[in-house]
Amino acid sequence: MHKPGVVSKVLISDSSNKAITRLAPFVEKMGLVPLIAKGNLLKVLDANQDLGAVFVEYKSFQEYNELADSLFQLRRELPVFARYNDQSSREFLQNLSSQRFASIYDLDNIAGLESIIKKQIFNRSYPEEMIASIKTTTLDALDKNLADCNIICEPPYLVKDRIFLGDLYTLIPITTQWCGGFIMLQVDSGDLLYRRAMSDRNLHRKDDINFRDVSDILSEITNVIWGRFKARFSNPDMLKEGLCTFQVPLVANHQQGHICFGSDEPHLCFKYVISDVLNHYPDMVLYQKFIFNMYWLPEMFEAIDSSTEDSKNAGKLELF
């Protein structure tokens, strides 16, 4: 089910070096990137807001109850895997509400986590051609809109968190025969965006730029990515009427930095690190998320992709 090249970051909080030594290599083989939490787990969580899951240990009734309550209140979208040490801790965890964890385990049955991890995180197969096309398209759009920059795209990963990453984001719906949802860009409105805005308006001071000018640049980048995705992976002749006859409300809580798309499915995330070649401006990080919350029919991808290629080669497809 899991496609190589698409990973997910997980946080491991465990006081046992033996447990970490056993767990970390296991999750790496599953396509997970283990981040070892040192110190207060909730503080570490606050610094890592694009995770796929959390692994914790049971220490005592009171301590675990408090931790479980905090995780449920703050980051309930994250699957929690709880390690028990003995029969009494196992029985305690089994009596807890299933909302408090995705699964419990001990070091002797660690292999039993594989099916749960696949169900919770790697439950979708993302076409490798789609992944490659998204990266190429986005790098090209960023390069054309942000001059004199080096841009690095990190390996794509899956996110269960629903937290804003940055102070500015765009959303645009995507609808093809095989997928429906949104493209989302999230970024801090950093100096590199202001530099582009100043260049467009022939201005020399950041203070002369209105926030709307920066928003327009991100909107332009989003539109280019959306247009090329639609042109590359959607064939209007194969669209079925009534394929998606419903809508899901989006709920954004700006105070909490949280957005809900009405689905528990992981988001496909790409992280781009953009740096100024002259080192005059600090690096900027842009997060790109594909949220297929409406429908996902990857079995139709090959047919759609094949017909799109035929149209493009015949000169019938207009690229954005």
Q: Structural domains in the chain?
A: 8-120 (3.40.50.2300), 128-313 (3.40.1550.10)
User: Is residue 287 within a helix (H) or strand (E), and if so which, with residue range?
Assistant: strand 284-296
Mean pLDDT of 96-122: 88
Residues 6+ apart with CB under 8 A from 63: none
The pLDDT of 5-30, averaged and rounded, is 94
Q: What is the pLDDT of residue 289?
A: 96
**Which residue type, as a one-letter code, is found at position 18?**
K
Banded pLDDT at 176 (limits 50, 70, 90): confident
Say whether pLDDT at 34 is over 70: yes
72 vs 199, which has greater pLDDT? 72
Rounded to 5 degrees, what angle do the CA atoms 265, 268, 272 make? 155
| pLDDT higher than threshold 50 for residue 312 | no
- Largest Cα span, the chain: 70
**Quick check: 314 pLDDT over 80?**
no
Higher pLDDT, 33 or 72: 33
Mean pLDDT computed over 99-122: 90
Question: In the structure, what pLDDT confidence band is assigned to residue 240 with cuts at 50, 70 and 90?
Answer: low
pLDDT band at residue 315, thresholds of 50, 70 and 90?
very low
Mean pLDDT computed over 199-210: 64
The whole-chain average pLDDT of the chain stands at 84
Beta bridge partners of 296: 179
| For range 264-291, the mean pLDDT | 91
CA 6, CA 29: separation in Å to the nearest integer?
12
Q: What is the pLDDT, as a whole number, of residue 175?
A: 87
Task: Give the whole-number percent of the chain exceeding pLDDT 90.
Answer: 44
> Region 13-34: what's the mean pLDDT?
95
Q: pLDDT tens digits for 113-160?
A: 999 999 999 999 899 999 999 999 999 999 988 888 899 999 999 999
- pLDDT value of position 307: 47
* Amino acid in position 187: V
- pLDDT band (50, 70, 90) for residue 205: low
pLDDT value at residue 203: 55
Question: Which CA distances in Å does 298 have to 16, 88, 122, 239, 283?
Answer: 41, 44, 14, 15, 36
Q: Quick one: average pLDDT of 75-102?
A: 85
Percentage helix, strand, coil, to 5, in the chain? 40, 25, 35
